[in-house]
Amino acid sequence: MEEFALKIRHLTKRYKDFALNDVSLELPAGSIMGLIGENGAGKSTLIKSVIGAVKPDAGEIEVLGCDNRSAGFTLKKEEIGVVLDEACFPAALTVRQVNRVMRDLFKNWEEKTFLDYAERFALPQNKAFQEFSRGMKMKLAIAAALSHRARLLILDEATSGLDPIVRDEVLDVFNEFTREESHSILISSHIVSDLEKICDYIAFLHKGELLFCEEKDLLLERYGLITLRRDAFEALDKRAVLSAHDTGYGVQALVRRELLPAGMKAERAAIESIIVAMAKEGKK
Amino acid sequence: MKMKGMLRKDWYIFLKYGKITAVFIAAYAVIAVFSQNAPFYVVFSVVLGALMVKLVMAYEEQDKWDCMAVCLPLRPEQIVWEKYLESLVCSGAVAFLLEVATFVARTFFSRENGLFSPLSTFLMLFFMGGLIASVELPILFRFGVSRGRIVLTLALMVLAGLLAGTVTGLWEAGNPQGSLFGAVSLPEGVLTAGTAAVTVILLAVSVRISVAVYKKREF
């Protein structure tokens, strides 16, 4: 088994009005990495570069130990399950027909697994895909991605547009998937709380730049939330403060714990607050 | 196996959306064998047959299957070849339909459209389908269906005009002999083999162009 499910080195892709700049990250095998960023930050460009739908201008991408520009990558796709921001199956097809088509396209297609997921997700077997709700469509795409013994799942906004109950159900499925040691997930989402629930690593893209790619727990250890009186806040080392706002009763600030005065305790910050603060300030 | 899966998917799309086109093709085939203006209807039904691929690709593009296909364990060559194969299957089906219609017209209604001998009819129509595919598919792979439709329409109008003009010219010249090839001094077999060779060469060049274009495409 490879040490890393995904290695991206110096990935660069330039468009007329946007560029993904020199992105490097590594997803250790057996873990889940959440890719966070505002609209247009470059998440989909990164994911499409990984699967080969976009041709990078520079950089290298290794997926499950295989260079994604090599001829062998086609075969490697047997082990990669992809769910894009839309389900991307022909709308005319029913669940049964999708099963028959995919059975021919994947060597390791597991019909029983697929039909079990379809049942678990309450997907009607003989209804055309076009009559499905968005939630049902995404569930079908997820069922298909999980039914050919994939070792890596690449999910681009797979949970967006789903209601909270369905999202929770889908996140459970992803968690189950990574119980297998060799299974990994790269998931992009706007919904930071979802990623906080399941991810081991968080990568934050902002305007085409990777601001950080860190273990979630380290991130939570590094940053904290404090509430102080205005005068106490003014006395703080300003390098410690990532963001602050006046609550009327004092100042609530997101801070770097290491730069706080000795003995000052900070509460656990939500990943979302850290991300929002970083996005606003555009700094590390 | 993979080709089978992709053809199966296209078949499902065709079953859902292609019925009306199929009815039109059948209607044109019937009109062709009973009409005084047979070449027009023959060419029209062949063009419609070849355009079935465009229909399927349009729905695939709309549903973003083309983007999904990149994520599947398929080589670019397989994705391209499948569309050519499908195009030839459609042309073969239309040619077969015209053959059946001609047979019925001759046997039961004593109608003779004077176009071809049976084998030549089949082969010539099949090659026409191949010719259309060789022009149509590189454009569709390069621009996609929605962006490529203007270029494609112009290209097909020129091609259909040339085909209809050629078929009509040969038919009128050869009609006294009751055969399309009556106007041509070459034996029918040689002419058919020559047309086959030209179509195969064009298809081979077209496939190479489509593969190269597809490999450069981004989704």
ipTM of the complex: 0.86
Interface of B with A (CB under 8 A): 1-2, 4-6, 8-9, 12-13, 15-17, 59-60, 62-65, 67-68, 70-75, 216, 218-219
Once rounded to an integer, what is the mean pLDDT over residues A212-234? 91
Query: Quick one: pLDDT at residue A284?
Result: 47
User: Domain tally for chain B?
Assistant: 1
- How confident is the model over A252-264, as pLDDT tens digits? 999 999 999 888 8
Q: Please check the confidence at residue A187 and state whether its pLDDT lies above 90.
A: yes
Give the torsion sign (CA, A254, A260, A264, A266): positive
| C-beta atoms of A84 and B12 within 8 A | no
User: B174 or B188: whose pLDDT is higher?
Assistant: B188
Residues of A in contact with B71 (CB under 8 A): 51, 53, 77, 80, 82, 84, 154
How far apart CA A144 and CA A104 sit, in angstroms, is 13
What residue numbers bound the domain in which B154 lies?
A: 2-216
Two structure tokens written together for A195: 């990623």
Find tokens 């970083």 and name the residue: A278
Q: Measure A248 CA to nearest chain B CA, in Å.
A: 50
Residue B162 has φ and ψ, to the nearest 5°, of -65, -45
CB contacts, 8 Å: B8 with chain A: 100-101, 104
When mean pLDDT is compared across A116-130, A187-201, A235-249, B102-116, the lowest value belongs to B102-116
CATH T-level topology, domain A4-207: Rossmann fold (3.40.50)
User: What is the pLDDT at residue B141?
Assistant: 93
- What 8-state DSSP symbol labels residue B51? T
Residue A126 has a pLDDT of 87
Structural domain boundaries in chain A: 4-207, 219-281
Query: Tokens 């050519």 sit at which residue?
Result: B84
B166 — pLDDT class (breaks 50, 70, 90): confident
Q: What is the pLDDT of residue B43?
A: 77
pLDDT band at A190 (very low <50, low <70, confident <90, very high): confident
Q: Among A13-22, A185-194, B46-55, whose mean pLDDT is lowest?
A: B46-55
Statement: residue A101 has pLDDT above 80: yes
Residue B124 pLDDT: 78
* Three-class DSSP labels, chain A: CCCEEEEEEEEEEECCCCEEEEEEEEEECCCEEEEECCCCCCHHHHHHHHHCCCCCCEEEEEECCEECCCCCHHHHHHHEEEECCCCCCCCCCEHHHHHHHHHHHCCCCCHHHHHHHHHHCCCCCCCEHHHCCHHHHHHHHHHHHCCCCCCEEEEECCCCCCCHHHHHHHHHHHHHHCCCCCCEEEEECCCHHHHHHHCCEEEEEECCEEEEEEEHHHHHHHEEEEEECHHHHHCCCHHHEEEEEECCCCEEEEEEHHHCCCCCCCEECCHHHHHHHHHHHCCC
The secondary element (H helix, E strand) that includes residue B107 is helix B76-109
pLDDT surpassing 90 at residue A161: no
